[in-house]
Amino acid sequence: MKRLARAKKAGLAKARDYHPIEAPLNSPIGFITAFFAVVTGFALIWHIWWMAAAGVFGAFVTLLVFAFRDVEEFEIPAEMIAQFDRTHPQEVAL
């Protein structure tokens, strides 16, 4: 009984059709934006206007750099996904 279930489960895993996955690259943009938000908030609380302007300007430049970047994602090939699925069958939910 168990052998039949395992054979059926192995047959299902081999019959699946895999497609490549596009994944985003790691980016420090959130940390940098948070830094400028803290600088801006500190400056606005203590009325340091030049620092507030520098913080807003830094956040704006960070936004521009993030918006005009060339490489945003990388592709995980279908063969790698199939290999991972074959090597970790109990961790994959069907």
Mean pLDDT of 30-34: 96
Selected residue with higher pLDDT from 55 and 6: 55
Q: What are the residue ranges spanned by the domains of the chain?
A: 1-25+77-94, 27-70
Read off the pLDDT band of 87 (50, 70, 90): confident
| pTM of the shown model | 0.64
Written as one string, the DSSP assignment of the chain is -HHHHHHHHHHHHHHPPP--EEEEPP--HHHHHHHHHHHHHHHHHTT-HHHHHHHHHHHHHHHHHHHT-S--EEEE-HHHHHHHHHH-GGGS--
Q: What is the mean pLDDT of the chain?
A: 86
Q: What integer pLDDT is reported at residue 36 of this predicted model?
A: 98
